[in-house]
Amino acid sequence: MKYHSRDPESWRKKEQEIARREQEKTQKYRRRGFYFLLLNLVAVFVFFFGIRSYYAQLSIEKSPLNQLLIQCEDTHSAGAPLDVQIRLYNNSEKKREIVISDFAFQIFNAEKQQVYSFKQTQPVRSVFEPFTSRLLFDLKREKEITNLPSGEYTIHVEATVDGKKVSAEKRFTSVERYELIVENFNDFYYVGEKAQLKVSLLNQTSRSQDLRIDSLSVTLKQDGKIVWQTTVQVKPFWQDVKVGEIVELVEALVVPFDREGVYSIQLECVVNGSTNSLLLPVACISNAEKNLKKVKIYTDAPKIYNLRTPLQFSVYLLNESRDDVFLEIEEIIVSLLPTSLNFKKGPVRMWLTPYSKYEIFRFYPYSVPAITQPGNYKLLVKVSTKNDRLDFETTLQVNE
C-alpha cells in the first residue's frame, strides 16, 4: 500500500511561498508591537465578559462523566464481516470503580426494523484509570454479519453505568458490489518487461449470486493517452457464487512495458449489468536504486502501552527526498521480542513517491495476544536489498 503526499511541483510552489513570506516578515515587525498590545487588551475583555458568558451556556452533557463511543467505518462492504466495537470512556481525572449493567446493542435498517440485537443484563464491575477507555463489546466476537443489503443503518447502544443511563448512536452505509482483484502486480517494471497478472472477481454483495460477466477490457495509459489495450474473453456465467467467494477471470494477463514513464492500468468488466473498474498506477524504469540511502524506517508504535487497551501500529519506509525511489527489496523482517511474533516478507518491489511513506508491516488488534504480560518489549525491523540493509530498533513499555 502506498501513501502519497504532495508531488514535486506542489513542493516547489510551497518553497516559493515560504520564501515570499520570509521577505514580508521584515516589513511587519514594527506593526506587530502595536497589534500585540491591542490583542492583549481584547483578550482581557473577552476573558472577563465573553468566556464566562460562553461557558455559562454550555450543558454538562457536552462532556459526560461516562461516554459510550461506537467505532465503525462510515461505509461497509456487504460481503465483508461488519466490524463494530463499543468502548466506554472515563472522562474523569480520577481513578474510578465503575459498575456496568443492562448493556444493549442494536442495529436498525432505514425502515427502523431491527436486524441484529445483543443484550447483557448481568452487572460487571471494572476499574478505570483517569481519562481511559475499556472495550465493552466487539461485534465480530459475537456474530459475523455479512448479509446487510445496500442502504443506511443505525447502531444504537445503551447501558446503565453507576445507576445512570448512557447511550450513543451512529449511522453507516452498507454497499453491495463486485470487486476486481489483481494478483502478482508490482509497483514498477523494467523496460522490455511484461507483467503477468492474475485477475479475479470478489462477490461483496449480501447474498449468493449467479454472475453474468462480459469480457474484460484492459487499457494501459500514459498522461491520459492510450498506449496499449486489449479485450480478454472470460467465462460468461458463474452459478451460485457465495458471499465473499472469489472467481478467477484470467489466469495470466500479459501487459507489456516498452519505455520508461508513469502509467496506469485500467481494468473494466460488466457484471450483472453493473460496470466494475479498477485503476492501478505503475511505473516503467531502466534502473532501480543501488542502496537504501534515500529512505529510513519509521513506526507509529506507542512508547507506552496499557494491556487493557487495543494496540494497533504500523511500520513504514519513509522517502524524505523530492525524487521517486524505486527499490528491489529482498527481505523484510519484523520481530517483537521476547514474543514469538516474527513477520517476514519478500522479495517485493516498492515505488515510493516524493515525500511519502510506504507501509511495510501492520500490527492488528487481534495480534495483541502476542503481548500477554507487562514489561519491556523490543521491536526490531530489518529491510535488506542485494547491496544494502537498514536496521531499526525501538522499545515498547507495556503496563497493566
What is the pLDDT at residue 147? 83
Least confident of 27-31, 85-89, 215-219, 315-319: 27-31
365 preceded by cis ω (within 30°)?
no
Taking alpha carbons only, the member of 98, 89, 138 closest to residue 118 is 138
State the chain's mean pLDDT as an integer: 84
CB 353 within 8 A of CB 4: yes
Rounded CA gap, 356 and 322, in Å? 9
Q: Which residue has the higher pLDDT, 25 or 283?
A: 283
Least confident of 41-45, 283-287, 328-332: 41-45
At 371, is the pLDDT very low, low, confident or very high (cuts 50, 70, 90)? confident
DSSP secondary structure string for all residues of 133-186: EEEEEEHHHH-------SEEEEEEEEEEETTEEEEEEEEEEEE-EEEEEEES--
Partners of 392 in beta bridges: 381
What is the pLDDT at residue 108? 96
Residue 17 has pLDDT above 60, yes or no: no
Give the pLDDT mean for 225-252: 94
347 preceded by cis ω (within 30°)?
yes
Give the pLDDT mean for 71-93: 89
Give the pLDDT mean for 171-196: 94
Residue for cell digits 498590545?
37
Q: Alpha helices, DSSP H only, in the chain? A: 8-45, 52-57, 139-142
Residue 20 has pLDDT above 60, yes or no: no
- Tell me how far CA of residue 111 lies from CA of 64, 75, 207, in angstroms: 31, 18, 20
CB 334 within 8 A of CB 372: no
Rounded CA gap, 337 and 373, in Å? 12
What is the pLDDT at residue 45? 45
At 85, is the pLDDT very low, low, confident or very high (cuts 50, 70, 90)? very high
3-state DSSP assignment of residue 311: coil
CB 249 within 8 A of CB 276: no
Length of the chain: 400
Q: Which residue has the higher pLDDT, 9 or 251?
A: 251
Straight-line distance from the first to the last Cα atom of the chain, in angstroms, rounded to the nearest whole number: 34
Q: What is the pLDDT of residues 96-132, one digit of tens each?
A: 888 999 999 999 999 999 999 999 888 888 888 888 8
- Tell me how far CA of residue 27 lies from CA of 15, 20, 24, 164, 367, in angstroms: 20, 12, 5, 59, 56
At 355, is the pLDDT very low, low, confident or very high (cuts 50, 70, 90)? very high
% the chain with pLDDT above 70: 83
What is the pLDDT at residue 274? 87
Residue 392 has pLDDT above 70, yes or no: yes
% the chain with pLDDT above 90: 60
What is the pLDDT at residue 63? 62
Q: What is the pLDDT of residues 37-74, one digit of tens each?
A: 444 444 444 444 443 433 333 344 456 788 899 999 99
Residue 28 has pLDDT above 50, yes or no: no
Rounded CA gap, 313 and 343, in Å? 14
At 365, is the pLDDT very low, low, confident or very high (cuts 50, 70, 90)? low
What is the pLDDT at residue 82? 92
pTM summary value: 0.69
CB 355 within 8 A of CB 12: no
What is the pLDDT at residue 294? 94
Q: Which residue has the higher pLDDT, 260 or 47?
A: 260
Residue 32 has pLDDT above 50, yes or no: no
DSSP secondary structure string for all residues of 309-355: S---EEEEEEE-SSS-EEEEE-EEEEEEETSS-EEEE-SEEEEE-TT
Give the torsion through C-alpha atoms of 55, 57, 60, 61, to 10 deg.
-120
Rounded CA gap, 334 and 315, in Å? 9
